[in-house]
Structure 1
């Protein structure tokens, strides 16, 4: 049994600040600009001994059409429908607005338990706004400050009451702490703006979970969604479109791109989504190279495959560009999909899981050293200062990505070309296609020293 809590309110009242405080991380982008949050963002909230599922939502606008604001409002309404408790946040400093009153009326009709948080109550300027909040007819408002932590004890009491009510209604028993949960695979979907990342994830989930539309750059925050595929728990992470650095000028876009890069850093597998009609662009290669430098497994997905005419030419062009521009990582999986039509999505997920398994590969030390003697005999390293630079020993201290420690007589004199030879042989002999490989060079001890 998990309590579900949704934070709602008009734009720029401090919803994302509260979300970040309760999840204990700066997951949601925060800025003075109204309307930063657009999608439902989900996280694990924590307050003292309570644990709960938490939604951050877009600022509520009084629109019902098919505009971006209208679609954002529907995402917020879906969060309210899922919630066991709704936190309606108002700005006590500016006082109530007609928009606050409209949505308070909507929440009364929803029959969901509601707590009014009068935010920004850390000074006397907020006293009038706090008193105004009583007029919403949703019970006593909580004097609150998301930024400074004022009112958290009162919020805890409301959350505890809601948790106990849900447990009594469901007749469930909370699981004992310490039960081991299966590992969650983290897949980050990245790419340039408007290549179809959110549409692809919605199709995988089978619901309109993420905001989509013809406008480029709708997604700003990196939104993670828990999901299960073939009994394997997966966390899908949607990210903001990443343009070339020279074209990024607005502060919000810089924050969104930085958030997307963090998603890459913490992902297990990165799915780089391409537009089939545009192919593998320079910016795509920049994103792929960053993924490899971060040591993440990489899968290339060519989207919008349903509209491509010369398919052989497109896929040959992508593979050729990968071969020329990323020769250090051979065998990166390339999968063709259509997020809009839902084609070959199982193939994409299977490729991502295979890439994850390769990324986790651990090779036994005896096998590695037998391999090392064979490759050294077939192609010895270059001489160092007129003497043979012998390779003595190899081990794999870690996976994720596969990392190998190589002991040799003169590690500083072992050229990069020879390391590439060893890497290519490792990939071929131990079946490690498309995953980053790391070498740590160490000087072997001289037994006569």
Structure 2
């Protein structure tokens, strides 16, 4: 079951990002501290009272002088509202109710989604002067908090998780392979789904953002069962003056979390863009199987080196997911699209593969013999033991003598040796380290 999603919505400058960072327990960094990964982080995984959920910082719904909420801002807010399971509506407790707050509240009531009302910037334990005014919104009891001081946040999270029990998810049997088709607008996601299904089940248009909602399409292929999850495209900032990206990625994040395998569709004529890197990053961070699909390959002028050169560029641009297979296709002509489901099934199996402990330790031991573990100030890294703790993604616990000695480069080396022996094509691998004394 996918983690519930909580969207934090409200006007600008009501303290949403401060709240977001407080709940995350850290300041959410724009730049990932691993090579090849630069992408915005507007979501975080939260654990509270044994519940795990995804919280999304949607940015501010900006009114203008002509309308309380312009059409574009309304669309962004609706996107967050439609996709989230629970909506946290944040207001400024110092400013009191505004016309924009009332307009947003109208949208939230119509959504029929659970709404939790958070009144921020109340820095005392006494009720604010505006406390009873918020009942006018018809969204239940106000919860006064101070994100900067940390007051009332635990009680607010209690209110949020109360709604999770009533959330109904589309549950599929374990053997059903769930495939999220993700990518920017107009790269051919819907056309690809139509080609795979063999019929026009999804409306296709040249207008970016035609796919308004995530659409689940269950189908069978041979003896295998699949669900295709189609998502709205992700717009580039250069196309829109406002910061729409924070809203438009929400649906992609939700689809990725529900999927076993992600098909990242890239337009061959554009190559790999910064936005493509961010989208691939959502799949990587969530430990999903990933296949890179280069669409519109029929439109590219080619010679004998074109595919190899394109592949090299992809590997350089998406250096953080070298495990992902690359398919060059044309959804329009059907070129190589018959290979996609075969590849999806293979990657799903790799993502769920489990390795015997004895065999794993033989491979790790051999790797250490071939390449001596790093040392610092006379102390050498020792890997005592390894075991696989989980699948989807394959996760390995390594018992070592000192975490500080496990450099990123040596971790990458161990990962490469494991991949060389067991493959794990199309899936990220995760390592968890446990320091163990003795045996030195």
- The TM tier, using the shorter chain, reads 0.5 to 0.7
Distance 2:229 2:378 in 1: 53
- Match of residue 297 from structure 2: 305
Is the counterpart of residue 389 in structure 1 residue 373 in structure 2?
no
Pairs within 5 Å for 1:421-432 = 421-432=413-424
Verify the 8 A CA contact 1:188 1:236 in the aligned structure 2: yes
Give CA deviations for 1:193-236 in whole Å, capped at 9, x if unaligned.
Answer: 11111111112222221111122221132221111122211110
Higher deviation after alignment, 382-391 or 414-423: 382-391
Is the counterpart of residue 400 in structure 1 residue 396 in structure 2?
no
Distance 1:330 1:220 in 2: 31
Higher deviation after alignment, 236-245 or 439-448: 439-448
Pairs within 5 Å for 1:14-93 = none
Distance 2:248 2:202 in 1: 16
- Match of residue 343 from structure 1: 335
Verify the 8 A CA contact 1:220 1:256 in the aligned structure 2: no
TM-score (norm 2): 0.59
Deviation at 1:394, TM superposition (A): 0.3
Structure-2 change in CA distance of 1:181 and 1:195 (3 Å): closer
Distance 1:261 1:318 in 2: 27
Give CA deviations for 1:360-415 in whole Å, capped at 9, x if unaligned.
Answer: 11110000111121111111211244123211000001111111101111122211
Is the counterpart of residue 258 in structure 1 residue 250 in structure 2?
yes
Residues matched between the structures, number: 291
Is the counterpart of residue 316 in structure 1 residue 308 in structure 2?
yes
Distance 2:317 2:299 in 1: 26
Verify the 8 A CA contact 1:384 1:410 in the aligned structure 2: no
Structure-2 change in CA distance of 1:32 and 1:277 (3 Å): closer
Verify the 8 A CA contact 1:330 1:433 in the aligned structure 2: no
Deviation at 1:36, TM superposition (A): 6.5
Deviation at 1:308, TM superposition (A): 2.5
Partner SS, residue 322 of structure 2: coil
Deviation at 1:311, TM superposition (A): 5.7
- Match of residue 326 from structure 1: 318
Give CA deviations for 1:271-301 in whole Å, capped at 9, x if unaligned.
Answer: 0111122222232222222321221111011
Is the counterpart of residue 212 in structure 1 residue 204 in structure 2?
yes
Distance 1:257 1:277 in 2: 22
- Match of residue 49 from structure 1: none
Structure 1's unaligned 5+ residue stretches are 1-30, 38-118, 121-146, 149-179
* 2:405 aligned residue (413, 416, 432): 413
Distance 2:334 2:382 in 1: 54
Deviation at 1:246, TM superposition (A): 6.1
Distance 1:311 1:273 in 2: 23
Verify the 8 A CA contact 2:323 2:428 in the aligned structure 1: no
Higher deviation after alignment, 199-208 or 240-249: 240-249
Structure-2 change in CA distance of 1:419 and 1:195 (3 Å): same
Is the counterpart of residue 441 in structure 1 residue 433 in structure 2?
yes
Structure-2 change in CA distance of 1:245 and 1:278 (3 Å): closer
- Match of residue 278 from structure 2: 286
* 1:352 aligned residue (338, 344, 351): 344
Distance 2:190 2:366 in 1: 48
Structure-2 change in CA distance of 1:300 and 1:433 (3 Å): same
Structure-2 change in CA distance of 1:248 and 1:355 (3 Å): farther
Is the counterpart of residue 242 in structure 1 residue 240 in structure 2?
no
Partner SS, residue 335 of structure 1: strand
Q: Which structure has the higher relative contact order (CA within 8 Å, separation 6+)?
A: 2
- Which one has the largest radius of gyration? 1
Is the counterpart of residue 362 in structure 1 residue 361 in structure 2?
no
Give CA deviations for 1:43-94 in whole Å, capped at 9, x if unaligned.
Answer: xxxxxxxxxxxxxxxxxxxxxxxxxxxxxxxxxxxxxxxxxxxxxxxxxxxx
Partner SS, residue 320 of structure 1: helix
Partner SS, residue 404 of structure 2: helix
- Match of residue 202 from structure 1: 194
Structure-2 change in CA distance of 1:345 and 1:311 (3 Å): farther
Pairs within 5 Å for 1:1-16 = none
Structure 2's unaligned 5+ residue stretches are 1-68, 77-109, 112-137, 140-171
Structure-2 change in CA distance of 1:192 and 1:314 (3 Å): farther
Distance 2:239 2:249 in 1: 12
Distance 1:251 1:370 in 2: 51
